[in-house]
C-alpha cells in the first residue's frame, strides 16, 4: 500500500512537470495506445486530452505523425534523430520521437516543439540572403547542402531547389578536378578564385568560412560566391590603358633620349657650353619621364602577375657594392660619406639580381635626396633567422609616425616642403614592397621626424638546390654584321648609329618579310627585333627564324616597347631590352652575343673571384669569349646551358670540387669531348689519378698570362667543333 502511494505521488510530480512545460509531450505504450498527453501538446495539436488518452495513435489525427509512429511500433526500432514536421492552424510544429522502457515494455515519447517563430526568423533570414548580390551555399557538418540562394544558382547555372539536400563536393560545382580541390571545413576562412564558362564566362571569388558553435563544435561551412568578372575586366582595362599610354610614350622617348645623347657625345658636331647645359636639362627630364613610365609599367606588371623574376643565389656583398658604386660620383661631389658594413661569410640569398639592385638603388637614392644638409649614410647587412636583412640608414629629415603606416602604398608621398621640391610619383616604395614580397621577404622602415630613417628589407637564404646560371662575356674587341629590324625608321637609324660607332656592319629591315629574307641571305652575327611590326607580329618572325634551319642559330635580341621578356625567352630570344634603349646596355649585349658566336668560348671555374676575374679579363683581351663559374655546380649548369670550347678548372672548390666536375663531364656523352685544363696551386690527389688523366692539360698557379693563353689556344685548336 505504501509503494502504491509513493508511485501515485511520483506520477503526480511528473504530471505537474508536464503540465507546466512549454514543450508538448505525448507518451505511447508499446501496444500503440496513448498513455499521456500534456496541456502544451493538447493546445498545439488542437486536440482534447480526453479524446486522445487511452486511444490508439490514430487519435492524434496528423497523418504524417501517425504514419511515422505506426512504422516505428511495427519495426520495433526508432532511428536516431527521428522527427516529423507538421503544420497545424498556421503553426509550424516539429515532433521529435524517441523510445523509453518501463515495466510494460518499450514505448514511445513524442516531444512537440513550436517552431513558428524560428521558421519566421529563418524565412526572414533566407529572404535577406536570397536578396543579396553574392551567392551563398550553406553546407552541414555531414557535407549536405542546406541552403542555396538565387544568386548562387545563377552563377552556377543550377536550380537552387535541386541542390538543396544533396551532397556534392563544393569544388565539383565549378568543374574543378579532384587534385585542384581542398576541404573547406578543414581550415579557417579561405578565398579561391575560380572561372566558370557556363552559362557565361565568369570569374568568381569563392570564400569558405567554417561555422563553429559556442562549444567549438563544427556545424558545417558557408561558401560565399562573389562575381569579380567586372572588377577583373576593369583591372585588365586599366593595365592595358597604362601599358598602351606608356608604350606610346616610349616610342618618341626612344628618339628624344637617343639623339640627345648622340648630340651631347659630339656626333652632330661641336656643342658649346650653353647648348650642353640646355641639352643636359632635356636629358635629365627625359630620364625622369622614362623612370616614371618604368614605374607605371612595373605596377601594371605586378598587379597583372606578369612580372618576370629570375631568381638565383646572390652574393649580398656584391649586390650592395654594385648599388653603392652607382652613387660614388654623386657622393664625392657632395663631399658625403657612405659606409658599407657587410660581415664576412654572409650566406647567399635567393633573389633576382636586377630587382634586388633596383630596391637597393631606390633606398640609397632616397637617403641621398632626403638628407639635404648632408650627413653620412650606412648600408648594412646581417643574417637573421634564415633570412638576410639589408638596411640603408641616413641622417635626413626623418618620417613622422602617422606617415609611416602609408609609406609603402601606391602614390603616397609625405607632404613636406622638401618632398614637394624633389617631386616624384610615390610609386617607388610600393614597387619595392611588391618585389620583396614576391621574392619571399619583408620590407619596413624605422624613423623619427628630424632624426633620420632606416629602410630595411629581408630576403630568404638561398637553398643548396638553387644554382646560378653563369652568363657569357664576349671578347674585348669584336665585329660583325647585325640585322636591325624595326618598323620605326627613327629607332632603326638610332640603333644603326649606336652599333656602327662600335664597328659593326648594320643591315636594316622595316618589315617581317624583308627581315627574314636578309637573315637567310646574309646570315648576320645577331639580329635586333622589335616585336611590334606593322606588317605582322614580330613574335611570328621570331618563331619563323627559330624554326628555319638556316637561321635557327642566329642570336636574336628583342628590343621593344612591350614588356614580355618571359615570352621572348620561351620563343628562343637570346637577349631582351626595353625601349627607350640604354645605349651602353645594348652595346654590351651585342658585344657579348657576337663575341660568343665569333670567338672560342672558355669556361673559367674557380671559387676565388679575384683569380677568376683576372683570368676572364685576360682571355677577353686576347679574343676569347668567357663564362665565369664560381663552383662546380654552377659550372655544370652553365655547360648544359651552352657548351664551351674548353673548361679551365680549379680542383679545390666548395659545393662540388674539380674532381667531381671532371668525372661528370667525361662520363656524359654530350660533354665528354670538351677539353678540360686543370689549374691548381696544391699537390694533386694521386688517389684520383684515373680522373686526372681525363684532363687535356695542367697549369700550375700562379698562372703565367702568356703560357695560359698559349695552352688554351692549343687545346681549343685540337677540340671538336662546338655546337652553339
Q: Are 604 and 626 in contact (CB under 8 A)?
A: yes
Strands 377-384, 338-341: pairing kind? parallel
Instruction: Residue 336: name the closest of 326, 328, 344 by CA.
Output: 328
Instruction: Please report, for the chain, how many H helices and E strands are present, in that order.
Output: 25, 30
pLDDT at 418 over 50: no
pLDDT at 394 over 60: yes
Helix (H, G, I), strand (E, B) or coil at 144: coil
Helix (H, G, I), strand (E, B) or coil at 35: strand
pLDDT band at 393 (very low <50, low <70, confident <90, very high): very high
How do residues 562-620 score in pLDDT, each as one tens digit?
A: 666 677 777 878 888 888 888 888 888 888 888 777 788 999 999 888 899 999 999 98
Structural domains of the chain, with CATH: 12-114 (3.30.450.20), 119-227 (3.30.450.20), 232-304 (1.10.287.130), 312-460 (3.30.565.10), 472-596 (3.40.50.2300), 600-717 (3.40.50.2300)
Q: Where are the alpha helices (DSSP H) in 132-221?
A: 150-156, 160-163
Euclidean distance between the first and the last CA atom of the chain, given in angstroms as a whole number? 114
Q: Are 652 and 685 in contact (CB under 8 A)?
A: no
Helix (H) or strand (E) holding 516: helix 512-522
pLDDT at 724 over 50: no
Here the cell at position 409 is 602604398
How do residues 683-696 score in pLDDT, each as one tens digit?
A: 766 667 677 777 77
Helix (H) or strand (E) holding 210: strand 202-212
How do residues 131-176 score in pLDDT, each as one tens digit?
A: 777 888 989 888 899 888 888 888 888 888 888 889 888 888 887 7
Helix (H) or strand (E) holding 221: strand 218-227
Q: Are 401 and 416 in contact (CB under 8 A)?
A: no
Three-class secondary structure assignment of 549-573: CCCCCCCEEEEECCCCHHHHHHCCC
pLDDT at 423 over 60: no
Q: What is the pLDDT of residue 483?
A: 94
Q: Once rounded to an integer, what is the mean pLDDT over residues 194-205? A: 83
Instruction: Residue 625: name the closest of 640, 608, 638 by CA.
Output: 638
Please state, in angstroms and rounded to a whole number, the distance separating the CA atoms of residues 57 and 64. Answer: 11
Lowest mean pLDDT among 141-155, 178-192, 484-498: 178-192
CA atoms within 13 A on the CB side of 70: 12
Please state, in angstroms and rounded to a whole number, the distance separating the CA atoms of residues 138 and 140. Answer: 7
Amino acid at each position: 500500500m505504501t509503494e502504491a502511494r509513493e508511485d501515485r505521488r511520483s506520477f503526480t510530480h511528473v504530471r505537474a512537470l508536464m503540465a507546466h512545460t512549454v514543450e508538448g509531450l505525448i507518451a505511447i505504450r508499446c501496444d500503440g495506445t496513448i498513455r499521456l498527453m500534456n496541456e502544451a501538446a493538447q493546445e498545439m495539436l488542437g486536440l482534447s486530452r480526453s479524446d486522445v488518452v487511452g486511444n490508439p495513435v490514430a487519435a492524434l489525427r496528423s497523418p504524417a505523425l501517425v504514419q511515422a509512429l505506426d512504422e516505428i511500433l511495427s519495426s520495433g526500432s526508432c532511428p536516431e534523430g527521428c522527427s516529423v514536421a507538421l503544420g497545424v492552424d498556421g503553426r509550424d510544429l516539429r515532433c521529435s520521437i524517441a523510445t523509453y522502457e518501463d515495466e510494460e515494455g518499450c514505448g514511445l515519447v513524442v516531444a512537440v516543439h513550436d517552431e513558428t517563430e524560428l521558421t519566421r526568423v529563418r524565412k526572414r533570414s533566407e529572404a535577406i540572403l536570397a536578396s543579396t548580390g553574392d551567392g551563398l551555399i550553406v553546407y552541414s557538418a555531414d557535407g549536405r547542402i542546406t541552403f542555396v540562394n538565387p544568386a548562387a544558382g545563377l552563377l552556377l547555372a543550377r536550380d537552387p531547389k535541386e541542390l538543396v539536400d544533396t551532397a556534392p563536393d563544393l569544388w565539383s560545382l565549378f568543374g574543378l578536378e579532384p587534385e585542384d580541390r581542398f576541404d573547406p571545413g578543414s581550415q579557417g576562412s579561405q578565398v579561391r578564385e575560380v572561372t566558370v564558362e557556363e552559362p557565361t564566362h565568369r570569374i568568381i571569388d569563392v570564400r569558405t568560412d567554417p561555422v563553429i558553435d559556442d562549444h567549438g563544435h563544427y556545424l558545417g561551412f558557408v561558401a560565399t560566391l562573389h562575381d569579380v568578372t567586372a572588377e577583373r575586366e576593369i583591372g585588365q582595362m586599366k593595365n592595358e590603358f597604362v601599358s598602351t599610354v606608356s608604350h606610346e610614350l616610349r616610342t618618341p622617348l626612344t628618339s628624344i633620349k637617343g639623339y640627345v645623347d648622340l648630340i651631347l657625345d659630339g656626333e652632330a658636331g661641336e656643342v658649346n657650353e650653353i647648348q650642353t647645359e640646355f641639352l643636359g636639362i632635356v636629358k635629365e627630364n627625359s630620364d625622369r619621364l622614362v623612370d616614371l613610365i618604368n614605374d607605371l609599367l612595373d605596377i601594371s606588371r605586378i598587379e597583372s602577375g606578369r612580372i618576370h623574376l629570375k631568381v638565383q643565389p646572390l652574393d649580398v656583398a656584391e649586390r650592395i657594392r654594385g648599388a653603392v658604386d652607382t652613387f660614388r660620383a654623386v657622393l664625392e661631389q657632395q663631399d658625403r660619406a657612405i659606409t658599407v658594413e657587410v660581415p664576412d661569410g654572409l650566406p647567399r640569398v635567393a633573389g633576382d639580381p636586377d630587382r634586388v639592385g633596383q630596391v637597393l638603388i631606390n633606398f640609397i637614392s632616397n637617403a641621398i635626396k632626403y638628407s639635404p644638409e648632408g650627413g653620412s649614410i650606412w648600408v648594412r647587412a646581417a643574417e637573421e633567422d634564415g633570412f638576410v636583412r639589408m638596411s640603408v640608414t641616413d641622417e635626413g629629415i626623418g618620417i613622422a609616425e602617422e606617415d609611416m603606416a602609408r609609406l609603402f602604398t601606391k602614390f603616397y608621398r609625405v607632404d613636406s616642403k622638401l618632398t614637394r621640391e624633389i617631386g616624384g610619383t610615390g610609386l617607388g616604395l610600393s614597387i619595392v614592397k611588391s618585389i620583396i614580397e614576391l621574392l619571399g621577404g619583408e620590407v619596413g622602415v624605422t624613423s623619427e621626424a628630424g632624426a633620420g630613417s632606416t629602410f630595411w628589407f629581408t630576403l630568404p637564404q638561398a637553398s643548396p638546390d638553387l644554382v646560378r646560371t653563369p652568363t657569357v662575356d664576349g671578347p674585348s674587341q669584336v665585329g660583325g654584321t647585325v640585322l636591325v629590324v624595326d618598323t620605326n625608321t627613327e629607332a632603326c637609324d638610332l640603333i644603326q648609329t649606336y652599333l656602327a660607332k662600335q664597328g659593326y656592319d648594320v643591315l636594316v629591315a622595316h618589315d617581317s618579310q624583308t627581315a627574314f629574307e636578309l637573315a637567310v641571305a646574309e646570315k648576320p652575327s645577331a639580329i635586333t627585333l622589335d616585336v611590334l611590326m606593322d606588317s605582322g607580329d614580330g613574335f611570328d618572325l621570331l618563331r619563323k627564324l627559330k624554326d628555319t634551319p638556316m637561321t635557327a642559330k642566329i642570336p636574336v635580341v628583342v628590343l621593344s616597347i612591350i614588356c614580355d621578356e618571359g615570352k621572348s625567352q620561351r620563343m628562343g630570344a637570346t637577349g631582351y631590352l626595353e625601349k627607350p634603349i640604354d645605349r651602353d646596355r645594348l652595346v654590351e649585349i651585342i658585344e657579348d652575343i657576337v663575341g660568343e658566336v665569333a670567338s672560342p668560348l672558355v669556361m673559367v671555374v674557380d671559387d676565388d673571384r679575384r683569380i677568376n676575374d683576372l683570368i676572364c679579363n685576360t682571355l677577353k683581351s686576347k679574343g676569347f669569349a668567357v663564362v665565369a663559374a664560381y663552383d662546380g655546380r654552377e659550372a655544370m649548369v652553365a655547360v648544359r646551358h651552352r657548351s664551351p670550347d674548353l673548361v679551365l678548372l680549379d680542383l679545390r672548390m666548395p659545393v662540388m670540387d674539380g674532381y667531381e666536375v671532371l668525372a661528370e663531364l667525361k662520363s656524359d656523352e654530350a660533354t665528354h669531348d670538351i677539353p678540360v685544363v686543370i689549374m691548381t696551386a696544391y699537390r694533386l690527389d694521386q688517389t684520383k689519378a684515373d680522373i686526372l688523366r681525363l684532363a687535356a692539360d695542367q697549369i700550375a698557379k700562379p698562372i703565367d698570362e702568356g703560357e695560359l693563353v698559349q695552352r688554351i689556344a692549343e687545346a681549343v685548336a685540337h677540340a671538336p667543333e662546338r655546337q652553339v
